[in-house]
Amino acid sequence: MPNEGYTMVTHEKPFRYLSGDLKVTRGASWSGPGCHDGCGVLLYTNAEDKLVRVEGDPENPYNQGRLCVRCLALTEAVNHPDRLRYPMKRDPKKRGTEAFERITWSEAYDFIEEKLRYYKDNFGAESVVFWRGTGRDIATYISRFAWSYGSPNLTSGINGIACYAPRVFGCASTSGSFWVGDYSQQFADRYENPQWKPPGTIAIWGNNPLISNSDGLYGHWIIDCMKRGSHLLVVDPKCTWLAAKSALWLQIRPGTDAALAMGLANYMIQEEIYDKEFVDLWCYGFDEFSERVSPYTLEKTSEITWIPPEKIVQAARMIAASDGFALQWGVAVDQTTEALPACQALSALIMITGNLDNPGGMIKPPELLNYLGGWGQEFLPQEQEEKRLGIDKYSFYRTGVVSAAALTVLEAIEKGEPYPMKAAWIQTTDIITGTGPDPQRAKEAFEKLEFIVGVDLFMTATMMALADVLLPAATYPERNGIRVGDGCQRGETINQAADPGECKADMEILLEMGRRFNPEAWPWETVEDMYSYILTDSGLSFAEMQEAAPVFLPYEYHKYKTGKLRRDGQVGFNTLTGRVELYSTMYSRLGLDPLPEFYEPTPSPYSTPELYEEYPLIIITGARDWMYFHSENRRQEHLRALRPEPVVEMHPDTAKKYGLTEGEWVWLEGHRGRAKRIVSLNLGLDPRVVSTSHGWSHPEAGPERLYDTRELNINSLIAWEDMSKIGVGANYKVMLCKIYKVTA
């Protein structure tokens, strides 16, 4: 039986049942391929256990039967002829060629074990870097493997950990928790729950939730809330679909989010329209904060952000008057140079308006699997932890950030300092095509390593260029798993439906390798035993959770008033002062600025005017397309048909100025590099700003051309060094470029 207070959804059928000739398996989705939202799916398989259809599960309160195109086209990925189907090995001298030889799993495991033991014994476990991608539910297990092997060098390969982490740290280090908008996701009965009410205002800030469906939010919830009375305030340089439906759209200059947040706060304070009672009782450092934001007058804020002063007034009044204010912020805030103070500035808006732990405001999702932050870290000896690359340079990395700094790892590979790097374990990440900057530099650095293991679904550019042993991973319909991450507001299982052939679950690979190096850390016979162990606190085994899921945890609002939020049972928040900290005592102790601040991005029209003269457009990268998740999905025929080639969106006046027309190929060139795109006109952009998506390759171009990543990867315009001085935040939204036609 599950723990007291848990709510289960009533299902008419077991999680596996027959429907005519087909078997139906109910469960949650999880990348790869797809994303890490975890929507409820019904997977249809035939007599040969082949996946033939995917539907949204109408009984699952999360997505209520809806799916986006990526899961609807899932069969095309799972059954694709290009899938990696068996383990392979290649002579490191032949990297970049198709000279792979098929081997068995036991040969692969033995060979990898022998090599990793050799590097550990001769150069120390720190000489092996573990490089993982986003999305898969493997993050926890790969960390445990790295630590139990003995290496502190684990990274997700994006400089400045500029995806989600700055928002989490910016929030947690000032208020003791990460907070998400309250869309009733914590309740099994969703919008019918009597405790819940829709947010009066939802600020969609640097986020396009309908397309990205990111971080535990199914984008359609925004529309569900609008139907129930919520108004939208959209902060975005581009007029998105939601911006067009909003009560107010602030067309912000990229990279100036902190200035806008500080200008809004200053106006609310000057006009005394903030929540005085909440500030008096629960906020620490209000006077210092007021002083810090005071220079951000309407005029100054407008000058920095390009937003007219009257719209800033309108926005401030809208937030302050709102009965429930939810901040739906996105990766755009993380992907600016000084992301941490920016996230601090944005979180201050929810603090001074008292929108924490309240219905229709910001909530702390309950956590079913309370093991994410460092599960297995105890197996890493302290002397090894001290060797973690980046902690000497970035003091913030000592505060619970478990990653090594990707740039420092890269430099260590390049220079052999502070110690030699010898090998890499690359799992589910396409370094050359994906989210990291300067892919050519990353490729050249990795080429120096003596031994590289790769785990993936397809032959990616990274695997083709670098892997010496390549292990085929199962897709999510081909393996079991449990939902982790993004605020585990419910218990879900990923349930195997289709035959994986020789492919194996990422976790199964890690369990096998982990057991070989540190059996004490990996005492389980099967991955299902491991999941049951992780689920212990729920009172359910993995098999029971498969039947019962989704399982919802008890939830109540205003826990800070009753002592149910703090670990010590005292009233207040999980900070040193017990209050939410507008002045961060943690940053102060670390020698960082304790207050939020705006820093002019570099480069920019103002900080580097000479560069701006040569590269006169601001380019935003990293925007998502409906049909793709980072570098995935380009092989799926129906998804590719929706967007066959990468586009750069620009205002028609911009196109006219540079003599360009819709549909023609152009180069986007910055001072670091260039990438090709097709012109797409968009009236919803400022003529000084252009926008493009990332993760592009042409799988059909073949290995000789490395799938065209050299000319399509937009991150060629970004250097690894284009990041924050404190190691949190990077420049993906604030580069400069020029545009010209591609000629023969």
> Which stretches of the chain bind ligand SF4, using CB under 6 A?
29, 34-35, 37-39, 67-68, 70-71, 213
Nearer to ligand SF4, 38 or 481 (CB): 38
Nearer to ligand SF4, 28 or 283 (CB): 28
Nearest distance from residue 66's CB to ligand SF4, in Å? 8
Nearer to ligand SF4, 406 or 494 (CB): 494
Nearer to ligand SF4, 220 or 317 (CB): 220
89's tokens: 């090995």
Nearer to ligand SF4, 62 or 178 (CB): 62
Nearer to ligand SF4, 470 or 639 (CB): 639
Residues 6+ apart with CB under 8 A from 355: 324, 325, 326, 327, 361, 362
Q: Which of 336, 343, 345, 262 is nearest to 601 (CA)?
A: 336
Q: Which residue has the tokens 């380019």?
A: 619
Burial class of residue 14 (count of CB atoms within 10 Å of its CB; 0-12, 13-18, 19+): exposed
Give the single-character DSSP code of 471.
Answer: E
Nearer to ligand SF4, 37 or 411 (CB): 37
Nearest distance from residue 63's CB to ligand SF4, in Å? 6
Nearest distance from residue 242's CB to ligand SF4, in Å? 16
Asked if residues 95 and 466 have their Cβ atoms less than 8 Å apart, the reply is yes
Q: Which amino acid is at 237?
A: P
Q: Which of 147, 714, 696 is nearest to 425 (CA)?
A: 147
The two most distant CA atoms of the chain are separated, in Å, by 71
The SS3 of residue 675 is: strand
Nearest distance from residue 68's CB to ligand SF4, in Å? 3
Nearer to ligand SF4, 68 or 442 (CB): 68
Q: CA 577 → CA 31, 87, 172, 446, distances in Å?
A: 39, 54, 13, 45
Q: Which residue has the tokens 């359910």?
A: 540
Nearest distance from residue 55's CB to ligand SF4, in Å? 11
Nearest distance from residue 528's CB to ligand SF4, in Å? 22
- Side-chain-facing half-sphere of 494: CA atoms under 13 Å: 27
Nearer to ligand SF4, 164 or 284 (CB): 164
Give the single-character DSSP code of 11.
Answer: -
DSSP per residue over 576-602, as a string? SSSSEESS-HHHHHTTS-SS------S
Nearest distance from residue 214's CB to ligand SF4, in Å? 8
Asked if residues 350 and 274 have their Cβ atoms less than 8 Å apart, the reply is no
Strands (E), 149-200: 154-155, 180-181
Nearest distance from residue 16's CB to ligand SF4, in Å? 20
Nearest distance from residue 625's CB to ligand SF4, in Å? 12
Q: CA 591 → CA 174, 361, 403, 418, 587, distances in Å?
A: 15, 32, 20, 25, 6
Nearest distance from residue 565's CB to ligand SF4, in Å? 30
Nearer to ligand SF4, 120 or 624 (CB): 624
The CB density around residue 700, as the number of other CB atoms within 10 Å, is 12
